[in-house]
A and B are shown apart, each in its own frame.
Chain A
């Protein structure tokens, strides 16, 4: 009994693309996303290299297509718990976590959040901004509904009172649902290396040392500062910014010896964005190899140097020290090209951390019976001939869940489409 239905696990750009391609050809798709909204990492970005398109602008139509498509059923705020069966006939148990809000009634007006007395750091803003206990993670959330974070909710009931649509339901319970599908696509994306593991860089101790994802949120118009780049310590505009590449990457100490593929490119993008906002700010990128490969990127780097005056220093800095009075930072480094030990002061430092497997990937792999590679990413069936198959028949993988083989957004999209082709091949052939 072959099911012509498909489950896609992960609602980032790769999962969204796979879902849309599958839905367009008539397969019913269940798109499972563990956070309250689909969108993934691409929704957190400000602009995408090398064209500098606004990320949300090009992502939003695809997100909306997913929510409207008659063949896509969004299972948001849900997680996969168990998988039985095999190709053509999987039974997947999905845990539907309680939002305590009825998605069919909620209009996303936000009055509940205005009155909620509890304020906590916002995960979507990488903890830089705040949200309420009843919240929408991003303004363009899909589905467009609120969610209550029960861990921080004090159960005051104000939201219930204020909601005009009667959408708040504090009595919701988690429930398990079984779905019978013919194929599964994994698109669980990535997390970011915890830079505090490198104590000499001061991340977590020095306020003005941030990660690139935090920077994206600061630069993004819908972020915690409305797109104004300001120093976390006191809110002044930074005038001397440094990027440090390969934080935790290509590093034998942490087992993340691979290159994350996209950091060189996005750091140059961020540098150009910063220079566009604040032409008087100097930006220096500390790199080992400038991996801006592929069409358009070398030209982009050239432009960054000649038109925007971004400085490139070939060095992997040793230590960062904070001036306790000014909260400025001093980097000690070896300029390998000039052959000297130098130090320089900056008022903001952006670390470009390694991209690591998504939290929970290991557990999911176990549930699916799929193998992971030595870095914890999903192992491809054959790196050359079956790049989007996992080691389990009928289960495919796309996007950064595959690891840094995925270069950047177009690669995630191509892989998403490629898994749709594989699913079609498998489901059609067994008829």
Chain B
């Protein structure tokens, strides 16, 4: 007899005996199990409890709802990335603009020119 056969026999014996248990004993076992489970949930650290709550939330929702949240996260991430790329020009683009632009590079770093622009008017300044 190999290990699997032995395991099957033991499980069979246990199941048979379980079916013959008096109702009072089954009720006590069930109450003990519920008490243990409720204590276990109460003892869970906050983060872990939240981590377990999400899969529970998912399992209780329809397929559409379960897909909607990850999809919304992906769309928001892509939108954020695109917005970042469009609003923050790449340094290569800036460097090329500085090197090839009509205004000399020095104009962008000379503090005297900034002051001159301020003094002489309605000049572009930030």
Interaction A to B: no
Q: Mark B residues whose CB is within 8 Å of A.
A: none
